[in-house]
A = this chain, B = another copy of it.
Amino acid sequence: MAVYKYFGPGCSMFGYGCVEGLGEELSRRAYEKALVVTDKSIVELGIAAKIISVLDGAGIGHAIFSEVKPNPTVANVKAGLALLKAEGCDFIVTIGGGSSHDCGKAIGILAANGGEVEDYKGVDKSAKKSLDIVAVNTTAGTGSECTRAYVISDEEKRTKTGIKDRNALATIAVNDHSLMMSLPKKLTAATGMDALVHAVECYISKNGFMLTSELALAAIRCVFSWLPEAVRSPSNERAREGMAVAEYLAGLAFGNGGVGMVHATSHQLSAIYDLPHGLCNAILLPPVMRFNKRAAAGKLAEIGRFLRPLEAEGKDDETMADLAIAEFERLSAEIGTLVRLRTLGVKEEDFGLLAEKALMDGSMGNNPVQPTVQDVMDVLASVY
């Protein structure tokens, strides 16, 4: 017997400018006042104002919490929750990449269930559904708008708490690529690689299943089709749409099939040095896959054959797995995410600590092979 559960938002919206149609969608529900959860850059870009005008148009009030940090913190969640209560908001609109959605999920779960963030560490620990969340996505990477996963950092303890909770799923996920057109090249590249890592790690995950594998392959295909062009020509609408679809497919995949050692290690880099999640993932993808080849050569070879069918004839798994990894590395080099950890301020003397923490990360259990502390240190050293 095998029981695999697959969760996704009941309603998602796509299309250039589709956020304009969100008012009609919200009007179907009895919402009165939104807590808008976002960050300063989204406010400065005018994206928050755009969504607020949609709320206004639908006769829905709002309060705004725009203090979300790139790696959202326990303090962010507490402050947002306090505002939600003080303002009497009855649903949450999150605007951003992963951070705002993650923060909004934590606020929504605490608003409905009480307690502290860490009470919900693990899988499906809450009793009640979060306050409704409308997740408006502004980057094409994290997939947080369509997953039940969220990660909150504890600044004091310098740890990240990873939570999977079906009750935290967004009610409506909005992927309007018109909101992604102004994403700078670097962020486009890093978030796009994040989507690729989700898909690849899910494809080889011990907890993946056939549906998540198919979604992951589709996501991989989209990333290779559209990411180079989205980075090269940020105003290419079709490429932006392709990446919005890629990251959503990757989100559905890894949100249900899991991620592995890349994430387990990357979480520690961003917790300790406050580094961007997508960039850390991009850097770690090739070396981790080289390490994983001992247990996942067959699966990696399938990705190789899918990406390069013309070169697959008569090639063994080892060769095709290498070809897949070479493709990841080539793409990363092309879009500028193939950088060294030393250039980001990572210190060699922290490798031991990083590796120890990585082994305890919730994502590591999905990895096809369990590394030792030395294995993780070797991976870090190879891209230092």
Contact = CB atoms under 8 A, between A and B. Distances in A.
Interface stretch (A31-39, A209-217, A343-351): A209-217
A10 B20 CA distance: 24
A236 B297 CA distance: 25
Interface stretch (A1-9, A89-97, A115-123): A1-9
Interface in A8-45: 8-18, 20-21, 25
Given A20-B1, A309-B309, A309-B310, A210 B13 contact: no
Given A214-B249, A249-B211, A14 B6 contact: yes
Interface residues of A, number: 39
A222 B214 contact: yes
Most chain B CB within a 10 A radius of its CB, from A9, A214, A222: A214
A239 to B, nearest CB: 11
A7 B11 contact: yes
A173 to B, nearest CB: 9
A143 interface: no
Interface in A298-336: 309-310
A241 B210 contact: yes
B18 A13 contact: no
Interface in A193-245: 209-211, 214-215, 217-218, 221-222, 241-242, 245
A169 interface: yes
A248 B16 contact: no
Given A214-B245, A215-B218, A218-B215, A18 B4 contact: yes
Given A210-B245, A214-B245, A245-B214, A13 B3 contact: yes
A101 interface: no
Contacts of A245: 210-211, 214
A166 interface: yes
Given A3-B20, A4-B18, A217-B218, A10 B10 contact: yes
B6 A18 contact: no
A15 B209 contact: yes
A4 B10 contact: no
Contacts of A12: 5-7, 211
A8 B12 CA distance: 9
A310 B313 CA distance: 10
B5 A17 contact: no
Interface of A: 1-18, 20-21, 25, 166, 169, 209-211, 214-215, 217-218, 221-222, 241-242, 245, 248-249, 309-310
Given A12-B211, A211-B249, 8 more contacts: A3-B20, A4-B13, A5-B21, A6-B13, A7-B10, A7-B11, A211-B248, A214-B249
22 contacts: A1-B21, A2-B14, A2-B16, A2-B17, A3-B13, A3-B21, A4-B13, A5-B11, A5-B13, A6-B14, A7-B11, A7-B12, A8-B8, A8-B9, A8-B10, A10-B169, A14-B210, A14-B211, A211-B249, A214-B218, A214-B221, A217-B218
The 9 A-B residue pairs with the shortest CB-CB distance, nearest first, are: A2-B15, A3-B21, A1-B17, A309-B309, A6-B12, A4-B14, A3-B18, A4-B15, A214-B218
